[in-house]
Structure 1
Amino acid sequence: MVSESQQQLYKKLNIIVKELPWYVEEYFDHKRRKLSAASLLNYCHDFKIFFNWIVSEQLYNGSIKEIPLEFLESLTVQQVEGFLQALTYEMKNKEITVNRKLSALKSLFNYLQNIAETRDLKPYLQRNVMAKIEFNELKESMETIANKMEGKILLGDEYEKFRRFIASDYGELVKENKKLSNFHKLNLERDTAIVSLILGSGLRLSEVVNLDLDDIDFSKFSARVIRKGNKEQYVYFSKIAMDDLQEYLKIRAVRYEVDKSNKALFVAAAMGPKGKSRRLTARSIEKLIEKYAVAFGKPSLSVHKLRHSFATRYHSEINDVPKLRRQLGHSSIQTTMIYTHIRNDDLRSAVDKMDIPKD
C-alpha cells in the first residue's frame, strides 16, 4: 500500500517527468518496482540538471523534452567530463554528490543500451558514453569520515541527556517565552517519541515520516517500514522508545484532534479554524531536531546524525556488522563498515600503550 507522502512524491515525479524526453519516462516506468518514490524523484532532478546543461551549453538546439536518443549516442567523453566539471566548479557539488548524479546517469544509459528494445529488438543505444566515465575517487578514508562524524553525533551518556532535554529541560529553558513554552508543552511527548524512536532504531527520516499507527507492533517492539527499493522490513526499536511512543499515543488523538481516518503515527496540529491535523512532514521533523540541537549546544545534530548515533552505539555494544546492516537497511556492507571506525577504543588503547616505558 502506497502511503500519502509517497503519493505526493509520485505526483511531483510525474510532473517533472513530463518535462523530460520520452525515454526517461519509460525508464522510470521500468524502475518503479525497484526504487522508492524518493529515489526516483532524486533521479528525476539529476536528469533534469543534465539535460538543462546540454541545452544551456548549446550542445543541442531545442527544448530538453525534444533531445533524441541519437544525440545521447553522439555524446563524447569530453562533453560528459565537462558536465561533471560544471557540477563541481559551477554548481559547487561535493565529489560524493557528483558520484551520485553520475550513478543516476549510468543507470539511465545502461537501461537504454542493455534493457530497452525497439520493435525490431534492437537496443535504444548502440554506444553508451557513460560506460566510459569513471567515478570520482573519494579522497577521504573511512577513518577520516568517521573521525569527522564523531564530533557531530551523540556519544555515551549524551543519548539520554538529549532525550531528557527534549522531554523536560528545554521547557525550563524557554519558560519565560510564552509562545515557545506553549508550543513545547503541546508537542513535547510527540517530539520526545520521535527522537527516542530514531535513537532507539536508526530509522531514516522518510521511514519515520511514513509510519502509520498499524505499523507499530507493540508486542515485538518493532516497526514495519518500507526501505529503499520498496522493500518491506520490520525494524526493532528499544524499550525506552516504546515507552515514549506509548506516552505520546495517550495524548495523540485528543490533543491533536485527529480524525479517525488519519492513520499517520506522527501528526501536526491543525492550522486555522477549519484546519485538520495532518501527517508531520519531513521538513517539520528536521526543523524540530535543529531547534533542540541548537538549544542543547550541539548544533551539528540532525536527523541523519541521530541515525549515525544509534549505529555507533549499536556497534559498540553488539559488534555485529551484518545485523547492524540489516537494522539500518544498507544495501552495501561497506556503508555499514564506517561505524567500525568510530570510537575504536581498542586501537586507541594499543597506541597509548606504545608510550608506556618497558622495564
Structure 2
Amino acid sequence: MKNTEIYQKIDTIILHMPDYIKDFVQDREDKDQSPRTTLEYLKNYKLFYEWLLSESIVPDTSITSIRHLTAYDLNLYKSHLKRRAKENVKKDTTKAKLEDNNNLGLSTSTINRNITALKVLFKYLSKSSNNPLGKPYLDDNPMDQVATITDKTTLAARANAIEKKLFLDEDTQNYLDYIANEYKNTLSKRALIYYHRDVERDLAINALILGSGLRLSEVVNINLDDLSLDKNNVVVTRKGNKRDAVNIAAFAMEYLANYLAIRKERYKVTENEKALFLAIYQGEAKRISGIAIERMVAKYSKGFRVQVSPHKLRHTLATRLYQQTNSLVLTAQQLGHSSTNTTTLYTHIDNAATIDALNSL
C-alpha cells in the first residue's frame, strides 16, 4: 500500500475519532513516524473505544471521559482481549471442532500489539504538550500499570514449531521448481489461463522473499526503480519508515529478470505505474496487494508440502543465512532487525551441533 493510500485511510478513520486522536496523529506526523504504524494504532483504538462504550465504562470517548479511566479499567480491557476469539482463524464448523475453536484466544503478539498501541497513546496524552492546550491532556498515565503478556513458549519450542514450515537446504529450490513445473498439473483448463499469465511474477515474488528475507509489506511497496539487477539488491522502506538497500541471493535474480522481461507486455502496464509487482484488478494492472501474495504463497506451498505464509519464507532465508554465516549480526542486518534479540530464534532452529554433542555423551 502506498503512503498516499495509507494517509487517506488515516484521514477517513480520524473523521470519527475525538480531537485528541487527531492531535496524536499530527504529533506522529511532525516526528516523521511511520504512517503504516499510525494506521494500525488507529484500528486498535477503534476497537478499544467500541469496548469502552459497549461495557458502559465511559459515556463517550471525549478527553473528559478518558481522564476518568483507571488502571483497573484498562486491565479489564486486557482481560477482554485475552478472552476474544482468535482473529483470522478460519473456524472448522464440524461438530467435533466447534468447542476447540470457541476456546481459541487471541495470540500473545496480537494482545501485546493492542496494549502497546494504548501505551503509545497514553504516553502522548500524559507527556506531550504538542496540542492546542499547550500542556499534557492527562495528569498521569494509568497505562503504566498495564503490563504486556510474557510469551511462556521457549525459543526452542517456537523454533521446533517453525522448522516444520521452513523450506531449508534443497527444499528452497525444490519449492520454486514445483511452482514452475508441477503445480500446473493440478489445475483445470480455466485455472491454467491465470497460472500462465502470472507464473513469472509468482516465481519472482517467492524467489525474492526466499533470497532476501523481505517482509510482506516491503515486497508489496517495491517500485520498479527500487530493484537493481546489476547490484543484486533492492531498496525498500523498513519499519520506522527507514529506507534500506537489501541484498538479494544470486539464485533469485534469474526469476526477477524473467518477470521484468514480461511485465510491461503481459500486464499492459502504462509508464505511470511504478509498482514492481502487478496484478489485474477489474481488467487493469495495479500494485499487487498483500492479501493476494498471501493467498498465492498459500496455494503453492500447500501443493508442495505444507501451507505457509510469506513470513515463513522470510524465516527460511533467515535460518539458511544463519546456518551459512553463524552470525546473528549479519542475519539481523539482512532482516532489518534493530537488534539481534529477535534473530536469536534462528540459533535454536539450527540445533544440529547440540544434537551431535548429546549423542556423543
Q: Same fold (TM over 0.5)?
A: yes
| 8 Å CA contact 2:276, 2:287 repeated in 1 | yes
1:210 alignment counterpart: 221
Are residues 1:330 and 2:337 paired?
A: yes
Pair 1:7–1:163, CA change in 2 (3 A): same
Query: Once the two structures are superposed, what CA deviation does each residue of 1:287-341 show, in whole Å capped at 9, x if it has no partner?
Result: 1111101111212x11111011111111111122112112111234211111111
SS of 1:233's equivalent in the other structure is strand
2:305 alignment counterpart: 297
Name structure 1 gaps, 5 residues minimum.
Answer: 355-359
- 2:354 corresponds, among 341, 347, 350, to 347
Which residue identity does 1:48 align to in structure 2?
Answer: K
State the alpha-carbon separation in 1 of the partners of residues 126 and 349 from structure 2: 42
Pair 1:71–1:159, CA change in 2 (3 A): same
State the alpha-carbon separation in 2 of the partners of residues 346 and 233 from structure 1: 34
State the alpha-carbon separation in 2 of the partners of residues 127 and 340 from structure 1: 42
State the alpha-carbon separation in 1 of the partners of residues 247 and 51 from structure 2: 44
Give the % identical residues: 35
Name structure 2 gaps, 5 residues minimum.
Answer: 86-104
Are residues 1:37 and 2:43 paired?
A: no
- 1:143 corresponds, among 151, 156, 163, to 156
Count of equivalent residues? 341
What's the Cα RMSD here? 1.7
State the alpha-carbon separation in 2 of the partners of residues 30 and 352 from structure 1: 58
State the alpha-carbon separation in 2 of the partners of residues 169 and 137 from structure 1: 43
SS of 1:74's equivalent in the other structure is coil
Are residues 1:285 and 2:298 paired?
A: no
Instruction: After TM superposition, list the pairs within 5 Å mapping 1:102-181 onto structure 2.
Output: 102-117=115-130, 121-174=134-187, 177-181=188-192
State the alpha-carbon separation in 1 of the partners of residues 189 and 326 from structure 2: 46
| Residue 119 of structure 1: how far off its partner (Å) | 6.2
2:99 alignment counterpart: none
State the alpha-carbon separation in 1 of the partners of residues 25 and 281 from structure 2: 35
User: TM-score, normalized by length of structure 1?
Assistant: 0.91
| 8 Å CA contact 2:229, 2:257 repeated in 1 | no
SS of 1:104's equivalent in the other structure is helix
SS of 1:101's equivalent in the other structure is helix
1:316 alignment counterpart: 323
| Residue 117 of structure 1: how far off its partner (Å) | 4.9
Query: Once the two structures are superposed, what CA deviation does each residue of 1:176-219 show, in whole Å capped at 9, x if it has no partner?
Result: x2112222111111110110000000001111111111001222
| Residue 129 of structure 1: how far off its partner (Å) | 0.2
Are residues 1:24 and 2:36 paired?
A: no
Pair 1:278–1:90, CA change in 2 (3 A): closer
Pair 1:139–1:248, CA change in 2 (3 A): same
Which residue identity does 2:17 align to in structure 1?
Answer: L
1:5 alignment counterpart: 2
Are residues 1:228 and 2:222 paired?
A: no
| Residue 141 of structure 1: how far off its partner (Å) | 1.5
SS of 2:245's equivalent in the other structure is strand
Are residues 1:97 and 2:91 paired?
A: no
State the alpha-carbon separation in 1 of the partners of residues 129 and 330 from structure 2: 37
| Residue 270 of structure 1: how far off its partner (Å) | 5.7
| 8 Å CA contact 2:67, 2:138 repeated in 1 | yes
Query: Once the two structures are superposed, what CA deviation does each residue of 1:33-61 show, in whole Å capped at 9, x if it has no partner?
Result: 44433222111111111111111111122
